[in-house]
Amino acid sequence: GDFVMIGIGFLLAKVAVNTGIQLENVLKAGPALILQELGNLGTLFFALPVGVLVFKMGREAVGCAFSTSREGALAIVGDIYGLDSPEGRGVMGAYITGTLLGAIFNSI
């Protein structure tokens, strides 16, 4: 867990620097980003109840359905609960699954 937090720190710094340089483009994409965040609410209203009620995941479902489970979410969950907690296992599972499946999907 400690080494993952160090790696995430470097990734967050890189994302912050790249975002600052492209701030004008980020502001131009405002409506698209707002729609994306509305889509992220689907995890709260659909995936979380399915994870808890159907798959009986418990606290892991909270971590798994938290935001998009990217670097920022890993850092937040790691700071609050620790990555060895059930929430940390859920967010790490979603992060790893999304990274692997996303790479395969994008390569196709």
pLDDT of 26-73, one tens digit each? Answer: 778 788 877 877 777 877 888 889 888 998 888 888 888 876 767 788
- Please give the pLDDT value at position 67: 67
Return the pLDDT at 76: 85
CA distance 64 to 97: 10
Judged against a pLDDT cut of 80, whether residue 2 lies above it is answered with no
Decide: pTM greater than 0.75: no
